[in-house]
Structure 1
Amino acid sequence: MNKHSGHPMTTVGILGGGQLARMLALSGAPLGLRFLVMDTVADACAGQFAPMIVGDWRDEDALAEFASKIDVATFDFENVPAESAQWLAERVPVFPSPRALAVAQDRLAEKTLFRELGIPVPPFAAIDSRDGLDAALAQIGTPCILKTRRLGYDGKGQFRLKTLADADAAWDALGAQATTVGLILEGFVAFEKEVSVVAVRGRDGEFRAWPLTQNWHVDGVLSASLAPAPSTPEVESRAITYARALADALDYVGVFALELFCRDGELLANELAPRVHNSGHWTIEGSETSQFQNHLRAVLGLPLGATRMVGEACMLNWIGEMPDAFAVLAEPGGHWHDYGKDARKGRKVGHATLRADTPQELAQTLARVGKALGRESQVEPVIAALR
């Protein structure tokens, strides 16, 4: 597959046409790659940069056309049906593997794998009936969260139970999905902070991780990411060890993120995202090699790039609508990313990355940008962490 000369050009197929596919295509251009995107909607924003096939994930004609035009396939979206990924894998190389995708798509399979690998997790139980929910509540206690086993992301498909009295409401909200996508009850973790390891594993098993990233969420959606996360070398080393164990167990190829809760120096795994990740966007300007380019290098069997940081970095997510770019672009370390999407409530429409040489400089930059954009509440927790 390694057509390193670039002639004929290698075409990478991406299932999913959102901003992650768009940024993959942008980062792959210097490598002389071509891209073909497949998505279920015609206005997917990656289609502004790469040719696109529009079709249902289960449409074999569309999948066959996609497979016939590409050399290798990858994902920007983990909820592509595992059987579609498997169908493709019988025709072209697919990375990460359909198995890795299937594990990450099912919270129960994912949590079970974490436990088998000795990665600490909050208590959890599979739920398939109303009686089963009561039994699990008796065992796990409240507060806790009832979640769909599949198809939940950015806080969707979840119901938080503060007391046992919330059981009826939780079952009313999600019970109907117990027989279709399945449910899982997870103990709620009173965590001090949320961190993620964004890492990459090559076809040959080479593994690299970017520095630990600290994340802040609003309404279940990522609001800001800071790298390197204020942490201890011991905690960072443990987090990366967990990520490596996971990557090796799944024979993973490409970039992934392991999201973790941090409490009293203890790490508890939350979930695995089998793709380039929102909390790794800072790597475009903040590290030697971005997550997007390293994902492509891994998928193509090319040598992986260094993951060391260039200074300190903070990514701010723009949700719903784009603010004015001026305040960010006026900063020497300000970088602007507009995903070319229509404004819509709750939608990720862009991000900015701010880079500086020291934590103090980054805090000052964030304070200026937050004030200029009227986004003080978004930057204040990050500034507090930098102190």
Structure 2
Amino acid sequence: MLTLEAKRMGFHVVTLEPLPNSPTGQVADEQIVAAYDDLRAIGELGARSDVVTYEFENIPLDSVLALEADRRIVHPGSTALRITQERILEKTFLREAGIPVADFTPVRSRAELDAAENAIGYPGVLKTTLGGYDGKGQWVVRSREDAERAWTEAKGRALIWERLIPFDRELSIIAARNAQGQIVAFPVSENQHDHGVLATTIVPGRVEPAVAERARRYATTVAERLEIIGTFCVEFFQRGDELLANEIAPRVHNSGHYSLDATQISQYELHVRAVCGLPLVEPRQFAPAVMENILGAGAGDTLGGVDDLLRERDLKLHLYGKAHASLRRKMGHFTVLAPSIDEALRKAEHGRARLHWVEDRAAAAR
């Protein structure tokens, strides 16, 4: 989606990806097939690009540092990546910036596991400090037995123990900042998850204006302190009038996919504008929207029910060109626009019920 928006704007796109037929590789002008830690390939990418960016943060920090050492322009830069891809650094940054977070403590040894049990207590969440996303590398712990099981399954990886927050809603705000310090933001989104994977996004989120304004203020603080250039997201837990920051994503975000159809400028175009030094404009939403992720079920790679879905006038479908629909893999999404959130939710639920995964194309047509 980022590549498609960049090409629509007239940019030549070179992508580096380990898989030769990745979704980005299918639409980019050029593809370098290599691992993200292949510094020779990273150097080639830098030499063939005026600006380098990334669409997820689980890439080696050394690759970005190598580009910067070679005086290549990389947005967002290594500082933002270093802090946001390591949970302890991220939570410490947020707390020092005056943004509330759940209580946390590092767990890098069995002694620290014992200390965390006493300091934070149950219920809690143990998370790997590096590499976790979409619910991976996380364990809810409600007893010593749970904590021991998580410690064993983590296999020596550094962890963070966070207090488990009973929340009313999960929210996110997506914003963009350019090199001139201009910041624009989308409406606050309300997010619902399935086993740690985003399933549904409701925009605007059903929160009071004061809560939405506070989320924007926190996002501005994050952008300015990290000197982010590009689109980014801050995720929150809402508990009454309280907002607790959960994590920062220094990139375009799944909860902003709706912006391709529901706002006059998408998060992807804003990212391209920001990293290329172009002016930013404030997003304007056309109508209430609900975005539904289409998740794999591990029961076939062909999506059935598409014909029925496309009969809906106010629905836009996006499929990503991924070959295998493994369990809870993000294969696409659709966005519904409606006069009200309630109506958009009804239409989205109806659309979701029409889709199913099958083994072959003939079955998909039935």
TM over 0.5: yes
Deviates most, 79-88 or 320-329: 320-329
Aligned AA (1:36): V
Aligned AA (2:322): K
Q: Which residue of 2 aligns with 1:4?
A: none
Q: Which residue of 2 aligns with 1:34?
A: 12
Distance 1:82 1:244 in 2: 24
CA contact (8 A) 2:107 2:160 kept: yes
Distance 2:166 2:185 in 1: 27
Cα offsets for 1:157-183 (capped at 9, x unmatched)? 112111233222121111411xxxx21
Match status 1:101 vs 2:77: no
Distance 2:179 2:196 in 1: 33
Aligned AA (1:289): I
Match status 1:70 vs 2:49: yes
Q: Which residue of 2 aligns with 1:60?
A: 39
Match status 1:310 vs 2:286: yes
Task: State the 1:367 CA deviation.
Answer: 4.4
Q: TM-score, normalised by structure 2?
A: 0.92
Q: Which secondary structure state, in structure 1, belongs to the residue aligned with residue 193 of structure 2?
A: strand
CA contact (8 A) 1:256 1:275 kept: yes
Q: Which secondary structure state, in structure 2, belongs to the residue aligned with residue 151 of structure 1?
A: coil
Out of 313, 319, 334, the residue aligned to residue 338 of structure 1 is 319
CA contact (8 A) 2:290 2:341 kept: no
Distance 1:146 1:367 in 2: 33
Out of 194, 211, 215, the residue aligned to residue 235 of structure 1 is 211
Cα offsets for 1:115-173 (capped at 9, x unmatched)? 00111100000111112111111110101011111011111111211123322212111
Aligned AA (1:83): D
CA contact (8 A) 2:305 2:356 kept: no
Task: State the 1:288 CA deviation.
Answer: 1.4
Match status 1:45 vs 2:1: no
Q: Which residue of 1 aligns with 2:354?
A: 372
Out of 248, 256, 260, the residue aligned to residue 224 of structure 2 is 248
Distance 1:202 1:330 in 2: 40
Cα offsets for 1:346-373 (capped at 9, x unmatched)? 2111100111233343244234324434
Aligned AA (2:105): A
Q: Which secondary structure state, in structure 2, belongs to the residue aligned with residue 262 of structure 1?
A: strand
Out of 298, 306, 309, the residue aligned to residue 325 of structure 1 is 306
1:139-288 map, 5 Å: 139-177=119-157, 182-288=158-264
Q: Which residue of 1 aligns with 2:337?
A: 355
Aligned AA (1:327): D
Structure 1 unmatched runs, 5+: 1-22, 376-387
Q: Which secondary structure state, in structure 1, belongs to the residue aligned with residue 99 of structure 2?
A: coil
Task: State the 1:60 CA deviation.
Answer: 2.2
Task: State the 1:92 CA deviation.
Answer: 1.5
Q: Which secondary structure state, in structure 2, belongs to the residue aligned with residue 215 of structure 1?
A: strand
Q: What's the RMSD between the two structures over aligned residues?
A: 1.5
CA contact (8 A) 1:129 1:175 kept: no
Task: State the 1:63 CA deviation.
Answer: 1.4
CA contact (8 A) 1:288 1:306 kept: no
CA contact (8 A) 2:185 2:282 kept: no
Aligned AA (2:60): P
The 1:80/1:374 distance shift into structure 2, 3 A limit, reads closer
Q: Which secondary structure state, in structure 2, belongs to the residue aligned with residue 134 of structure 1?
A: helix
The 1:265/1:327 distance shift into structure 2, 3 A limit, reads farther
Distance 1:309 1:106 in 2: 33
> Sequence identity of aligned pairs in percent?
39
Say how many residue pairs are matched. Answer: 349
Q: Which secondary structure state, in structure 2, belongs to the residue aligned with residue 75 of structure 1?
A: coil
Task: State the 1:374 CA deviation.
Answer: 7.4
Cα offsets for 1:306-335 (capped at 9, x unmatched)? 311111111100111534222332112110
Distance 2:242 2:345 in 1: 27
Cα offsets for 1:289-321 (capped at 9, x unmatched)? 100000000000101133111111111001115
Q: Which secondary structure state, in structure 2, belongs to the residue aligned with residue 176 of structure 1?
A: coil
Q: Which secondary structure state, in structure 2, belongs to the residue aligned with residue 344 of structure 1?
A: coil
Cα offsets for 1:66-105 (capped at 9, x unmatched)? 1111100000121111111011123311000111011001
CA contact (8 A) 1:57 1:81 kept: yes
